[in-house]
Structure formats: structure tokens, C-alpha cells
Amino acid sequence: MCYTALMAIGSMLRRRWLPEKSFPSYAYLPGRQPHPVRDPAGHSYNSQAMPLAAEISVDSDTFRWGLDLFNHGYYWEAHEAWEGLWQVADRGAPLRMLFK
């Protein structure tokens, strides 16, 4: 069985925190796929930028969406989801380090 098929099976077994949200069409890997927001062929081209978080919490939908992305191999996308939380968290706060 190929690596991609094994990854897909493993991904299906992982819990979803926000199952109503659809994953992007691909997990961005620099040099392999179009940049998600800068390239017209990117999966998030012309989409709204992630807003700064209104709620700084691991119970927020923003954090949970980042978990879904990360746990299913969308590492760049998870970073983008969590960045809004990181930007508004107090410097030196434990949550800021977690979001980083």
C-alpha cells in the first residue's frame, strides 16, 4: 500500500473537532503546490484573510479548526488558523507559546 493511501486511512481515524468545515483541496507544501493565497491556483486565493481572534481560548472554533487542520496533515493551514490567536495573546502568556 502506498504512503498516500496509508496517510488517508490514518486521517479518517482521527477525531474531527469541527466536522462541518471542509478541508482545503490540498495541504500546502512549498515548491509542490501553488501558494494557497498568493497564487491564482491556490486553494485560498481571493479568500478573506483570517480575522484576529475575538476569543483567546483553546475552546474557540479558531483553535479547534487549527487542530483539525494539523491532525489531518494541513500544517501550513493550521499555522495560518492559529496565527490570529497568537497575535492577540499577551506576550509571555502560556497560551501565546502554545499558539506559536
Domain ranges of the chain: 3-99
* Cα(91)–Cα(100) distance, integer angstroms: 11
Please give the pLDDT value at position 77: 96
Please give the pLDDT value at position 49: 67
* Cα(30)–Cα(57) distance, integer angstroms: 30
Task: Give the CB-side neighbour count of residue 86, counting CA atoms within 13 A.
Answer: 12
Neighbours of 54 (CB within 10 A): 10
Please give the pLDDT value at position 55: 72
Per-residue pLDDT of the chain (100 residues; tens, 9 = 90+): 555 555 555 566 789 999 999 999 999 999 999 999 899 999 989 887 666 666 788 889 999 999 999 999 999 999 999 998 998 888 999 999 988 8
DSSP 3-state assignment of 25?
A: coil
